[in-house]
A and B are shown apart, each in its own frame.
Chain A
Amino acid sequence: MNRRRLLVLAAALAVLGLCALAVTATLRLRTDLSFAFPDSPSRDVQMLVDRLQRGPASGLILLALSGVQPDELVRASNQLAELFEQSGRFQLVANGRPRSQNPGLALIFENRYLLNPPVAASDFSAATLRRQLEETLRALATASGLAGKRLLPADPTGRSRRITAFWTGKGPDQGAGIWLSADHSRALMMVQSTAPAFDLAAQADVIRFMRQTFDGLRGDGPLRMELAGPSVFATATSERIGAELKLLTTASVAAVLVLLFAAFRSVTLLFVLLLPLGFGICAGAAVTQLMFGYLHGITLAFGVTLIGVAVDYPVHLIGHAKVQEKTHDALEKIWHTLRLGALTTMAAFLPITLSSFPGLSQLGVFAIVGLLVAALVTRTILPVVLVPSAAAAPSRIWSGVHSFAGHMRWVRAPLLVAALAAAAYLGVRHDQVWEHDLRNLSPTTAADRDLDRRLRADLGAADVRYFLVVRQATAEQVLQKTEDLADALGTLVGRGQIAGFDAAARYLPSIRSQQVRQGVLPDRATLAAALSTAQAGLPFRAGLFEPFLDAVERARTGPPLTPEDFLAAGLGWRLDALLFAQDREWVGLIVPRGVAQPAALMDFVAAADDPALSYLDLKAASEDLVAGYRREALGWLVIGAAVALAMLILGLRSPRRVLRVAGPVVLSVALSAAVLSSLGAAFSLFHLLSFLLVAGVGLDYALFFDRFGADPESRLSALKANTLCAATTVTVFTVLAFSRIPVLHGIGSTVALGAAFALLSAFVFTARGPVAET
């Protein structure tokens, strides 16, 4: 008999192992933020989120050196920049130092007559040329003029210098020849690796390389390096989450094992406990994957947490089995209660499956399937593999706990008052309890975000919030539309409503305007005549400016520049963040700087009345998104609660009992919410889901107390089982509450607190009858 039991257990574990392997092998896990976004957010929001997540713009790494004197900073910055450049791992290394070997410079120089600022026909008149040649002659008597000597024959009018100035604009302080922060305590650098930004492994590798290079440079000195940027944070976050999860999981599993072993004194039992949960997770993951084609990482993590309640099933079973009783009989005894608990929880999850947020509906499916399978495993396999043991029976300690708990009925009134106060508190503050900032949901730490903000401010690249979005079928049309808007935007600048704006067309004019410029350029003969008039009497050698004549002729007759040319010349980084393809469309971002009146931008877009142009306030949009998500989740949860209540009414068939079971659940959720909120927690979707879990475990506690509370002996069993269940839950989630990742911390503290309240209120309100004196 005993052997058969072990064989079945071994077989079940083997099957579980195979299932787990199969599910893991076929799992398509998505770990991006898309969990938090609906199927169809506005295209603009989706585009930005997408860009922020993995667009080339997010491959930009900001670097700050500090800890030594400015002279040392300059030297270190230059050395580091050189080492980075030599490594060939970067498409951009910029520390403010002008570099002659910039590969894009050749392209800019070659196309200088087509780029911005636009050329005019008068630029090539004899009079203008004369003035410029005289200026050039004077410049040859200076050091700076002489420095540009090489370019003189091809560019006697200094056109390339004007373009460079136009591109560079106003950067951070360059007082020491490189970028320093205003107080000269930090040297700044921007780099972008050649690896794609969404390839986290490659980015992590680049960041490791940067740190190693820096360590080699620093030696034992006081020099410090800080890195910021989306890819840096993403890498750090995934490393931190990985490390924390490992640590927290190990710690909580160990704690739970110790707890359960102390309670049951059986190693076999620990394996038995695994079965319902394990099969539940496998089934949940498999079905969700089948239905959606993929699984969100957060669904998996949270789903496992939600159906973690399945560990309680065997605990209840063991707790209620008497020593001489067959497990099957014990199961028959508790099955009705267990089933009702599972069905009610599943009912609560049912509406969520209809959510428009794929992450939420996945979670609903996962939880329902997982709980169903866990309950079925408890029903079918556990009675075969489990045998009641003496250790499982309530010991004297438990009698002591029971008798102590029995004296706690006086807590009823204060608990009720506290719950009412909590409900009132939450009711009054209902506007302030929610989390509004999307970024607080991201696992990036506040310190990282601070660093990012500081470095951006140092570099004069303040965090952008407002965008005008241009959508067209082709990149060329985007550039044209941007150019059409430029004049009107200029009037906003004139009125001081914005300080200026950046757009792809600034760096790459549309083919249309390049062609206009080609039309303006004089043909070779005309230019040669004007030049010869201009040159008369000046000491320039005859034929010196042939390269100039050739260059203008090439510009006039050659093919216009395209985004592909920019990419090929290593200038892609300049355009990528401002002009990109999305869903068979081209998107151009116009990024206003120094926005004094956001309303002016909104009015501007409204007045344009163009479906291809939209306004986007990233902060407002993301807040809307968060609020919308939460509203929807809250709506489904309320419906879910109603369905669950209906299920309870159906199962218990007594209004009194329904109140006795549901009351403590509501009470514990209200109490824990009020306590957390008063401690400063801002509720997000993850808190809502945590409350759902609290309600789920609390419901089981209450159901068991309701069913077994009348008889002293079985009440003792129910107390032991419920307390063990609550202890494991509180242990696991207390460990989680120690996480420095905001979301994990939130979930941990919510569930740990909630489960404790749930046990307390279930015992105090649901267990009936006089307490047995032992």
Chain B
Amino acid sequence: MSLSAAAAPLLVLLLAFAPTPGRAQEAPWSLSTLLAALAQHKTVTVRFSEERRLQYLTESIRLEGTLSFEPPDRLEKRVVRPKRERMTVEGNLITIETNPGDPRVRVFLSDYPALGAFVTALRALLSGDATDLERVFQPALAGTEESWSIRLTPRQSAVSDTVREIRISGAGGRIASIDILETGGDRSIIAIHEAI
């Protein structure tokens, strides 16, 4: 499902809310310590920029906007350039709004397995629940605490039909970028900027 690509920034968003690492330093660095560092409990908004490389196009598309997270599970992606759009995921419901006057599009997360898997995983990440993350993806951690990357390979065919893998990189408890590779060759590279 291509919506999964669209939702990738939400993943970014969830991973991006970076409280400074602290207590985790005493334990040996691992996926679980990373998850603990990423776990998020307050409303945060960050700026992002996204580069979409689509097979249909000879040039890539650049998007800019903000990402927000509101505990426990409300995610919002606001695109301001090139075309205004607001997408929110709440529970199982995705709402997409273009212009304020236009009718909203509402779809169910569970109708889009790939996107659903993302969100499930992201919520798992946020709550520091590695079990849930590992149910959907095969995570592979590399690098050091100061410069790490995770490769998420989908386990379920409903997801892997669309998404080949997701690469997330960051430093400490902060996410720097998310790279989503789709099976069809489309790719989204999202860079996370400062919190606002």
Contact = CB atoms under 8 A, between A and B. Distances in A.
Interface of A: 71, 74-75, 78, 97-100, 137-144, 146-147, 149-150, 152-153, 174-177, 539-541, 544
27 contacts: A78-B108, A97-B111, A98-B107, A98-B111, A99-B111, A139-B83, A140-B56, A141-B61, A141-B82, A141-B83, A142-B83, A142-B85, A143-B6, A143-B96, A144-B96, A146-B5, A147-B107, A149-B186, A150-B2, A152-B56, A176-B106, A177-B106, A177-B108, A539-B57, A540-B56, A540-B57, A541-B55
A144 B82 contact: no
Contacts of B82: 138, 141
A179 to B, nearest CB: 12
Contacts of B96: 142-144
Contacts of A176: 93, 106
Given A71-B91, A141-B61, A97 B56 contact: no
B58 interface: yes
Given A98-B107, A177-B107, A539-B57, A147 B93 contact: no
B63 interface: yes
Interface in B96-153: 96, 98, 105-108, 110-111
Interface in B77-91: 77, 79, 82-83, 85, 87, 91
Given A71-B91, A144-B85, A541-B57, 14 more contacts: A74-B93, A97-B111, A100-B111, A137-B57, A140-B56, A142-B83, A143-B6, A143-B77, A144-B98, A144-B105, A146-B3, A174-B106, A177-B106, A540-B57
Number of chain B interface residues as a range: 20 to 34
B174 interface: no
B181 interface: no
Given A152-B56, A541-B56, A541-B57, A142 B79 contact: yes
A176 B55 CA distance: 34
Contacts of A98: 107, 111
A141 B6 CA distance: 9
A222 to B, nearest CB: 21
Contacts of B107: 98, 147, 177
B108 A143 contact: no
B52 interface: yes
Interface of B: 1-3, 5-7, 52, 54-59, 61, 63, 77, 79, 82-83, 85, 87, 91-93, 96, 98, 105-108, 110-111, 186
Contacts of A147: 1-3, 6, 107
Interface of chain B, main secondary structure: mixed
A149 B111 CA distance: 16
B79 A544 contact: no
Contacts of B79: 141-142
Contacts of B6: 142-143, 146-147
Given A149-B2, A150-B2, A176-B106, A141 B63 contact: yes
B58 A539 contact: yes
B10 to A, nearest CB: 10
A534 to B, nearest CB: 15
Nearest to A75: B92
Contacts of B87: 143
A322 to B, nearest CB: 87
B108 A140 contact: no
A143 B85 contact: yes
B74 to A, nearest CB: 14
A149 B186 CA distance: 11
A175 B95 CA distance: 10
Contacts of A175: 106
Interface hub of B1, B77, B186 (most chain A Cβ within 10 A): B1
A82 to B, nearest CB: 9
A338 to B, nearest CB: 77
A97 B87 CA distance: 18
Contact of B83 (A99, A138, A152, A177): A138
Contacts of A100: 111
Contacts of A539: 57-59
Contact of A146 (B2, B106, B111): B2
B54 A97 contact: no
B158 to A, nearest CB: 13
Contacts of A142: 6, 79, 83, 85, 96, 98
B57 to A, nearest CB: 5
A489 to B, nearest CB: 27
Q: What 5 A-B pairs are tightest by C-beta distance, nearest first? A: A143-B6, A539-B59, A177-B106, A149-B2, A142-B85
Contacts of B1: 147
Nearest to A143: B6
Contacts of A139: 83
Contacts of B61: 140-141
Contact of B57 (A71, A75, A78, A140): A140
A143 B89 CA distance: 12
A141 B106 contact: no
A135 to B, nearest CB: 10
A177 B63 CA distance: 27
A75 B59 CA distance: 42
A670 B172 CA distance: 98
Contact of B56 (A138, A177, A544): A544
A100 B111 CA distance: 9
A80 to B, nearest CB: 14
A143 B188 CA distance: 12
B85 A140 contact: no
A541 B111 CA distance: 30
Contacts of A78: 108, 110
A752 B181 CA distance: 83
Contacts of B2: 146-147, 149-150
Contacts of A97: 108, 111
Nearest to A545: B56
A98 B57 CA distance: 29
Contacts of B7: 143
B60 to A, nearest CB: 9
Contacts of A143: 3, 6-7, 77, 85, 87, 96
B47 to A, nearest CB: 17
Contacts of A544: 56
Contacts of B186: 149
A139 B83 CA distance: 8
Nearest to B97: A144
A177 B112 CA distance: 14
A144 B107 CA distance: 10
Contacts of B83: 138-139, 141-142
Contact of B52 (A99, A140, A150, A174): A140
Interface hub of B56, B83, B91, B110 (most chain A Cβ within 10 A): B56
Contacts of A75: 92
A359 to B, nearest CB: 52
A141 B188 CA distance: 11
B58 A540 contact: yes
A138 B54 CA distance: 13
